Structure 1
Amino acid sequence: MTASNLPVAIIGAGPVGLAAAANLLARGEVPLVLEAGPAIAHSVRQWGHVRMFTPWEYCVDRQAGALLREAGWIAPPADATPTGAELVSEYLEPLAALPALAPHIHLDARVVAVTRRGSDKVRTAGRGDLPFVLRVAGPAGRLRHFEAKAVIDASGTWTSPNPAGSDGLPAPGEEAAARHIATGIPDVLGQARARHAGRTTAVIGGGHSALNVLIDLAALRDAVPETRILWVMRKERVEAAFGGEELDGLPARGALGSQARALVESGAVEVLSPFRIAEIRPGDDRALRVVGLHDGRPASFLADELVVAAGFRPDLSMLREIRLSLDPWLECAAGIGPLIDPNLHSCGTVRPHGARELSHAEEGFFIAGMKSYGRAPTFLLATGHEQVRSIAAALAGDQDAAARVELVLPETGVCNTRPSATAAVRIPAATGCCGPAKAEPEPAAACCSPAAEAVPAPIAVAATGCCARKEQAA
């Protein structure tokens, strides 16, 4: 089989990976979807209890929706907001089950390496003519090899959370304390209730994911008053985490900040800020003692459990033999680094981008979805749909369509989510926050990821330059 007759490999069967497959099918290409988990959207299922802020209108890829409607699918109400579980059951599972797509999906297929046939990354001559080879671990570690003419890595970052250590590394003792540490947004009102009820939990992080966990813990504290909540972050002032509140252009986000302020002012949540974690040790009357600097001075606190909501980073280990063109500090494609730097941008100021900006030195290789943003927390699911639409067009040879911008974004790129309506929360439930956590430093406006999405009325987003970043880096 010649390289031109090979499929396009897609790593990950989440929302963006399946959207990539739908767009490739529409272009007459054959997708090969490799999902590490035992079911499609394995990572999304981990935050199934979280209700997204984004309404269904922005959760369904255009081409995927067209395939579903052809099969008789009835879309959920456009203005309703799904939980992660509903996103899977009402959209992603029906999509993956379509006869046109189902035969191309391989489960329990974890990609452990990507390379070129018979060549390491050093070889240049004729490299673009060689097919990609994906080494895949199946059940019981059995290895298989798949060949492809192009690769789209849509594997996400959910399995690579940032550590609690303030210097980007796990704090000494952090790995040894792993059984007392949760990441992301644990279901503290459900499956994880017993770990936190009547105990002391420290939530680490100053983004919307952390706020969501705090709100859920406060609801748990209402039921079990012995529950104690600490809020630990690197922000200089806790007020910076509250946002614009009633002055916020998005009332739901403002309400979230107001809820957080109310928790702090009522004493339901104790704040340690700024606090930079240096070490985690076994505790005395609690499981853990966390040591660091509080407002520049040595300090420590005791906790039974830690929830580290400090963002995510890409796992690039399987791409060791691929020629990557990476931004030096975000670890995203170099072409989009200046556009998404969280030191400069919120979601709404990110210029839509496609195959050209996402390209790497390795011809035919792309990273799409949350992983494409590297360590930047500003990814939007709708952005991922636009990415794979453009990439599919480029791989099919339609460069005009690949270059065309077909994405609209809200005026402010705030992403956040709220607790599921089934959760009993005393605080007003108009909004809570969820989705994979944001990394610090954070921009003035918040941002997000697959579980924390876009917003109300869309408008076209003007191009954003990168002069400020150049000055900062100089």
Structure 2
Amino acid sequence: MAQPVGVAAGVDGSHPVVVIGAGPVGLAAAAHLHERGVPFMVLEAGPSAGAAVVEWGHVRLFSPWRYNIDHAARRLLEAAGWIAPDLEALPTGAELVEAYLQPLAKLPQFAPHIHYDVAVAAIGRVGVDRVRSAGREQAPFVVRLATGDDVLAAAVIDASGTWRTPNVLGANGLPAHGEADPRIATLIEGALPDVLGTDRARFAGRHTVVVGAGHSAANTLLALAELAEQEPGTTITWATRGGSIDRALGGGDADALPGRGALGTGIKLLVDSGRIALVTGFAVHAVDVVNGHAVLTAADGHTLPADRIVAATGFRPDHSIATELRLDLDPVLGCTRTLAPLIDPNEHSCGTVRPHGVGELTQPEPGYFAVGMKSYGRAPTFLMATGYEQVRSITAALTGDWTAARDVQLDLPATGVCSATQGYQAMLDDAAARYGLAPDIPSRLISAALRHLPTAGTVTAATRAAADELDIDPDIALQLAALAGNQFDPTDQNPANSGLPRAELSLVAVGSGGGCCG
């Protein structure tokens, strides 16, 4: 069967395939290329493998190890004596790097071919610009580095992600007025700061405004609420562009995943109890510094003061390095046009995106592929396991194995890897450990609160009654209840059911150099 237009005729070994990015998907591409005997070179802008993942290392993925390890990478690691972690355990980003990415990058088959602190500035082709067609497919790629050096490549697999290109605060997609001012930039945090860890001092005892309505915002809000219990004077405001938070909280027609509302319900409990001040309909127009404090101004003139601002506004791809290549990008998402309808976040969650490979990722530029989080453009529904299948399919196509390239499959749990009861329970376990409580306390708290709910009338009152019963600090109990989300089901008041999760939690974690569902 003939190959589709836009895929290189093959690789003959005269030049390596250049992989941009040494994150999970980039190293998976290298593993598949190695297994197929294709010379490769990995260019990583950071100082180590998984450099972007390290920056969100405190975040726990919401899928177990078995879905976060590429098959080719695992074969290479195990041949070298590597012992896989507990496949049912849920790693943090730091554990993903330390137990998987770093050992993989240090393999003798990999280490000589990975170059760190090497940023790619541009990509072209030898002797032809974007306009010229004659001889284009036969011309090697020119990968120009920030140092000015050129690397020739048979094909380019761009797994650089989107972590370095977050969306702006401005509600219309443009930077808010003043956002780029250096005085203001020092007061703005990117998504997923380590509120309870290395970044604690910047938030403790201060007023933080979290801008955004996605799961990164929810993660940060929950962490800030926990910090507020430990550090007096810590206050939180949640600013959302929409007039309602129903979509942000999940559930109903707004969510393609059953049970996505668990995290949102926890946030709603914090809002209802007054621990988080909610400001809806706040479309950020400008940001300024007044007396050392940030002041956000909405399009309608309303203002919000803040000591710190967390811009949990998502990410976007940067295709500027490929301006001399022929790309056909969806005008909305910035991914390939073929992939766009399959991942449209208005229609899909990461659990409803079908497996896809070289056919959906092919560009008019033969031999160039954006993979991983970057392949999804502005869609936040990427799965790490999906990225692994992308590069398996692409590397098969590059070697002419079209049977394997077209046989695209994805091994996920029946409920979808991004709906994660396990991850949700891990969040509760982590919180209980931080408070010095026994692991069974969260489930006992929920059980007791559900028994008190019919007479207490509200979840907050029921939680406080349960805290008294279990001799738990009521503020800590309320924090655990917020994390427990929609295990509180007012329609089910049967204590026999109280230990069972009412639904599964969907949480999009950031990874693979950009945002991803773990």
User: What TM-score comes out, normalization by structure 2 length?
Assistant: 0.79
Q: Give the counterpart letter for 2:87 in structure 1.
A: A
Partner of 1:5, secondary structure, is coil
Q: Give the counterpart letter for 1:450 in structure 2.
A: G
- Distance across 1 between alignment mates of 2:193 and 2:83: 31
* CA-CA distance at 1:340 after TM superposition: 0.8
Name the structure 2 match of 1:275. 282
Name the structure 2 match of 1:8. 17
- Distance across 2 between alignment mates of 1:353 and 1:13: 22
Larger radius of gyration: 2
Q: Does 1:233 align with 2:285?
A: no
Structure-2 change in CA distance of 1:125 and 1:327 (3 Å): same
Q: Give the counterpart letter for 2:347 in structure 1.
A: L
- Distance across 1 between alignment mates of 2:388 and 2:78: 18
Structure-2 change in CA distance of 1:454 and 1:308 (3 Å): closer
- Distance across 2 between alignment mates of 1:50 and 1:210: 13
Name the structure 1 match of 2:202. 195
- Distance across 2 between alignment mates of 1:298 and 1:47: 34
Partner of 1:129, secondary structure, is coil
* CA-CA distance at 1:27 after TM superposition: 0.9
Matches within 5 A, 1:232-381: 232-244=239-251, 253-284=260-291, 287-293=293-299, 297-381=300-384
- Distance across 2 between alignment mates of 1:250 and 1:448: 16
Q: Give the counterpart letter for 1:268 in structure 2.
A: R
> Is this contact kept in 2: 1:415–1:453, CA < 8 A?
no
Name the structure 1 match of 2:51. 42
Name the structure 2 match of 1:151. 156
* CA-CA distance at 1:445 after TM superposition: 7.4
* CA-CA distance at 1:143 after TM superposition: 2.7
Name the structure 1 match of 2:67. 58
* CA-CA distance at 1:145 after TM superposition: 1.4
Name the structure 2 match of 1:18. 27
Partner of 2:31, secondary structure, is helix
Structure-2 change in CA distance of 1:432 and 1:195 (3 Å): farther
Q: Give the counterpart letter for 1:232 in structure 2.
A: A
Q: Give the counterpart letter for 1:201 in structure 2.
A: T
* CA-CA distance at 1:241 after TM superposition: 2.4
Name the structure 2 match of 1:68. 77
- Distance across 2 between alignment mates of 1:332 and 1:212: 26
Runs of at least 5 residues in structure 1 that lack an aligned partner in the other structure: 434-443, 456-474
Partner of 1:335, secondary structure, is coil
* CA-CA distance at 1:4 after TM superposition: 4.6
- Distance across 2 between alignment mates of 1:432 and 1:113: 47
The CA deviation string for residues 151-173 of structure 1, in whole angstroms up to 9 with x for no partner, is: 00000000000001000011001
Q: Give the counterpart letter for 1:428 in structure 2.
A: L
Partner of 1:67, secondary structure, is helix
Partner of 2:210, secondary structure, is strand
Partner of 2:434, secondary structure, is coil
- Distance across 2 between alignment mates of 1:391 and 1:41: 21
Name the structure 2 match of 1:464. none
- Distance across 2 between alignment mates of 1:272 and 1:29: 54
2:175 to 170, 175, 183: 170
> Is this contact kept in 2: 1:414–1:448, CA < 8 A?
no
Structure-2 change in CA distance of 1:346 and 1:287 (3 Å): same
Aligned alpha-carbon RMSD (Å): 2.5
Higher helix share: 2
- Distance across 1 between alignment mates of 2:119 and 2:256: 42
> Is this contact kept in 2: 1:205–1:232, CA < 8 A?
yes
> Is this contact kept in 2: 1:200–1:230, CA < 8 A?
yes
Runs of at least 5 residues in structure 2 that lack an aligned partner in the other structure: 1-10, 436-475, 486-504
Higher strand share: 1
Partner of 1:126, secondary structure, is coil
Name the structure 1 match of 2:461. none
Q: Which moved more, 1:189-198 or 1:76-85?
A: 189-198
* CA-CA distance at 1:223 after TM superposition: 1.1
Partner of 1:376, secondary structure, is coil
The CA deviation string for residues 282-331 of structure 1, in whole angstroms up to 9 with x for no partner, is: 235x61111114xxx43111111100011000111111111111111100
Structure-2 change in CA distance of 1:249 and 1:323 (3 Å): closer
Partner of 2:108, secondary structure, is coil
- Distance across 2 between alignment mates of 1:152 and 1:391: 9
Matches within 5 A, 1:108-123: 108-123=117-132
Which consecutive aligned stretches of 4+ in structure 1 deviate over 4 angstroms post-superposition?
Answer: 248-254, 415-420, 429-433, 444-449, 451-455
> Is this contact kept in 2: 1:378–1:448, CA < 8 A?
no
